[in-house]
Structure 1
Amino acid sequence: MIIGVPQEIKNNENRVALTPAGVTEFVKQGHSVYVQQGAGASSGFTDQEYREAGATLLATIEEVYGIAEMIIKVKEPIASEYPLIKENQLLFTYFHFASSQPLTQAMIERKAVCLAYETVEKTDRSLPLLVPMSEVAGRMAVQEGAKYLEKPMGGRGILLGGVAGVKPANVLVLGGGIVGTQSAKMAAGLGANVTIVDISLPRLRYLEDIMPANVDTVMSNEYTIRQLVQQADLIIGGVLIPGAKAPSLITRDMLKLMRPGTVMVDVAIDQGGCFETSHATTHQDPIYVVDDIIHYCVANMPGAVPYTSTLALTNATLPYALQLAGQGWQKACSQNEELRKGLNIVHGKVVYRGVSDAFDLPFTEVSEVLGHVAHV
C-alpha cells in the first residue's frame, strides 16, 4: 500500500503521525511511504532520518495526498485540506466528528474512508489510541492550570502545593478516566488537595485504592459539583463519551459561584467541551475569561510537547496502521472488531452512532458498508 504522511497544519500542532522507526516497519513489509518534507522537524525527526528509514520525501502536502492510498495523520483535516482528500482514500487520524459539523459534512462529501483513532475500542471498552494522548493531556492540564493560577497570568495567585503554614490549592477533577486519573496524580504529587468526581462507583472505589491520601473521591451529580466549584482553585474537565459530544457539567450560572481568578482547563474540548462556556482555543492564544473565570481550552494540548506525544502516539497506532496497510481497510475492519469500531464515515455514509446522533444524520450499520464493499 502507498502510505502518505503530511505535515500537520493545524495551529501549533507540532506532532507527526509516523516516526522514522515506523517508516522502517512499513518498508520492511513491502509498503511505500511518502513523507512531506519537514513533517517531523517539530517533533525532533529530520528529513534525513526519514530517508534513511526508506521514505520518499515530497515537497508539498498536495503531492502527499495525491499519491497516497492511506493518509496517516495526527489531527483532523482542516478546511484547506478538504479538497485534497480523494474518494475511497483511507484517512487514519483523530477526527472528533461530533464536535464539528463542517468537518463531518466535508468528509461525507469527499466520500473518503474515515477511521478515527478516538473510537477504536477494545472488548473491555478501553480506547487504546486515545489513552496515550489522554495521559499526556491529563498531566499537562495540571501544568497549565498551575501556570494560569499565577497572578501575572490572571489567576488567583495560588501555588498548587502551598508551603508550610499555608494551605495548598483545591483542585477539582471532573471524570475518573485516563485524563482525570493522570490529572489527579499530578496535582496530588504537587501537594494540592484534590477531589475527583465520577458517576461510576466501581471506578471511584478503584481510584480510592490507588490514589494518595490527599485525593478524595466523590460521586458526581449537579448538586455536588455546584458545592465543590465554590472552593476550587483549579477545575479540570476530563469527561468522555466515546465518539459523542461531551456533556456540559459546568453551566454558565455556576461561574458566578466561583472565586475570581479560578482556572478551568477543558480537556474534553476536542469533543465539544464539558463546560457550557467552553470554545476551542490554540497554543498561540490559549485562554479567555468569562465572568472573571479563566478558561483554558486548547484542542490539541499534546501538540505542545511533540517529542513525547509523537512517540507515545505512534507506539499505539503503528500496529493498527500496519494491519490496515497489510490487509486493506475492508478486510482489516472485518477481522478486527477494534478497528471496525474506529470507522466513522465510509463512502459518504455515517457508520458511527455518536456522529449521526450529534447532527441528526442518517445512520448506516458498519456491517452493511463492509458487506457492500466486499461484493464490489
Structure 2
Amino acid sequence: MRIGVPKEIKNHEYRIGLVPAAVVELVKRGHEVWVEHDAGTSINLHDQDYQQAGARIVNDAEAIYADANMIVKVKEPQANECKMLQRGQILFAYLHLAPDPEQTRDLVASGASCIAYETVTDLRGRLPLLAPMSEVAGRLSIQIGAHCLEKSTGGSGVLLGGVPGVAPGKIVIIGGGVVGYNAARVAVGFGARVIVLDRNLEALGHLDELFGSQIETVYSSPDSIRRQLVDADLAIGSVLIPGAAAPKLVTREHLRQMQPGSVVVDVAIDQGGCFETSHPTTHDHPTFIEENIVHYCVTNMPGAVARTSAFALNQATLPFVLRLADDNLEALRKDEHLRRGLNVHRGLVTYEEVALAHGYDHVPPLQALQR
C-alpha cells in the first residue's frame, strides 16, 4: 500500500501523522510512504530523517492526495483537503464530526473511507487513540489555566499554588476520565485546591484511591457544578461522550456567578465544548472573555507541545496503521474495535452519533463495508 503523510495546515498545527520510526516499520513490510516536503520540520523531523527511514519526499499535498491509498493525518482535513480526497481512499485521522456538519458533508461527498482516531476502541471499551492526546491536554490545561489567570492575560491575578499566608487557588475539574485525571495530577503538583466532579462513582473512587486527601471528589449534578464554580479560580471542562457532541454542563448563568477574571479551559471543544459560552479558538487567538470569564477553547491544544504529542500519538496509532496497510479495508471487517473508528464510508455515515447529529441515515459499518 502507498501511505501518504501531508503537512498539517490547521492553525499552528505542527504535529505529523507518522514519525520516522513509524515509516521504518511500514517500509519493512513492503509499503511505500510518501511524506510532504518539510511536513515535520517544525518539530525537528527533517526530510533527511524521513528519507533515511525509507520514505519518499514529495513537494506538495496534491501529489499525495492524488496517488496515496491511505492518508494518515493528525487533525481533521480542512475544506480544501476534503476536496482532494478520492473515492476508495482511506483517511485515518482525528475527525470530531458530531459538531462539524460541513466536514461531515465534505467527507460524505468524497467517497473516501474515513476512520476517526477518537472512536477506535479497545477490548475494555476505552479509546486508545484518544488517550495519549487526552493525557497531554489534561496536563496542559492546568499550565494554560495558570497563565490565563495572570492579570496581563485578563485573569484575576491568582497564583494557583498560593504562598505562605495566602490561600491557594481553587481548580474545578468537570469529568474524571483521562483528561480529568491528568489535570488533577498536575493541579496537585501546583499546590492548588482541587475538586473533581463526575457521575461515575467508580471513576471517583479510583481518583480518591490515587490522590487521597490531595483532592476532593464530588458527584456531578447541575447543582453541585453550580456550587463548586461559584468560588473557582479555574474550571476545566473534560467531559466526553465518544463520537457525540459534548453536553453543555456549564451554563451562562453558572458563569455569571463566578468571580470576574476566573478562567475556563474547555478541553471538550473538539466535540463542541461543554460550556454554553464556548466557541472554537486558535493558537493565534486562544482566549476570549465572556461574562467576565476568560475562556480558552483551542481545538488542537496538544499542538502547543507538538513534538511530545506527535511521538505520543504515533505510539498509539502505529499498530492500527500497520493493520490497515497490510489488510486494507479487510482490517475493518476483521477487527471490531478498529471498525468502531469508521465514521464515513463511500458516501454513507457509519457512526450513529454523527448520523443523528446531522440528519443522515445511519448505515452500520459491516453493512456499509459490503457496498
Say how many residue pairs are matched. Answer: 371
Partner of 1:366: 365
Q: Deviations over 1:2-32 (max 9, x none)?
A: 0000000000001001011111111000000
1:32 aligns with 2:21: no
Instruction: Output the CA distance in 2 between the equivalents of 1:360 and 1:61.
Output: 32
Q: Report the CA distance between 1:212 and its aligned residue.
A: 4.5
Q: Report the CA distance between 1:82 and its aligned residue.
A: 1.7
Partner of 2:97: 97
Partner of 2:211: 211
1:68 aligns with 2:65: no
Partner of 1:343: 342
TM-score by length of 1: 0.98
Instruction: Output the CA distance in 2 between the equivalents of 1:123 and 1:272.
Output: 27
Secondary structure at 1:109 match in 2: helix
Identity fraction in percent:
49
Instruction: Output the CA distance in 2 between the equivalents of 1:3 and 1:212.
Output: 47
Q: Deviations over 1:126-177 (max 9, x none)?
A: 1000000000000000000000101111101011110111110000000000
Instruction: Output the CA distance in 2 between the equivalents of 1:357 and 1:83.
Output: 24
The 10-residue stretch of structure 1 (339-348 or 358-367) with the greater mean CA deviation from structure 2: 358-367
Q: Report the CA distance between 1:243 and its aligned residue.
A: 0.2
Instruction: Output the CA distance in 1 between the equivalents of 2:14 and 2:243.
Output: 24
Instruction: Output the CA distance in 1 between the equivalents of 2:342 and 2:67.
Output: 22
Amino acid at match of 2:319: P
Where in structure 2 are the equivalents of 1:1-376 lying within 5 Å? 1-329=1-329, 331-370=330-369, 372-373=370-371
Instruction: Output the CA distance in 1 between the equivalents of 2:82 and 2:319.
Output: 27
Amino acid at match of 1:352: Y
1:192·1:214 contact (CA, 8 Å) conserved in 2?
no
Secondary structure at 2:98 match in 1: helix
1:160·1:191 contact (CA, 8 Å) conserved in 2?
yes
Q: Report the CA distance between 1:360 and its aligned residue.
A: 2.1
Instruction: Output the CA distance in 1 between the equivalents of 2:265 and 2:107.
Output: 29
2:252·2:291 contact (CA, 8 Å) conserved in 1?
no
Instruction: Output the CA distance in 1 between the equivalents of 2:356 and 2:194.
Output: 35
Instruction: Output the CA distance in 2 between the equivalents of 1:99 and 1:89.
Output: 24
Q: Deviations over 1:236-263 (max 9, x none)?
A: 0000000000000111111110000000
2:343·2:354 contact (CA, 8 Å) conserved in 1?
yes
Q: Report the CA distance between 1:67 and its aligned residue.
A: 1.1
Amino acid at match of 2:168: P
Instruction: Output the CA distance in 2 between the equivalents of 1:325 and 1:269.
Output: 31
Instruction: Output the CA distance in 1 between the equivalents of 2:42 and 2:199.
Output: 39
Secondary structure at 1:213 match in 2: helix
Q: Report the CA distance between 1:180 and its aligned residue.
A: 0.5
Instruction: Output the CA distance in 2 between the equivalents of 1:127 and 1:211.
Output: 23
Instruction: Output the CA distance in 2 between the equivalents of 1:108 and 1:307.
Output: 32
Instruction: Output the CA distance in 1 between the equivalents of 2:122 and 2:33.
Output: 28
Instruction: Give the ranges of 4+ consecutive aligned residues of structure 1 lying more than 6 Å apart after TM superposition.
Output: none
2:159·2:168 contact (CA, 8 Å) conserved in 1?
yes
1:188·1:212 contact (CA, 8 Å) conserved in 2?
no
The 10-residue stretch of structure 1 (206-215 or 58-67) with the greater mean CA deviation from structure 2: 206-215
TM-score by length of 2: 0.99
Q: Report the CA distance between 1:272 and its aligned residue.
A: 0.3
Q: Tell me, which stretches of 5 or more residues in structure 1 are unaligned?
A: none
Amino acid at match of 1:348: G
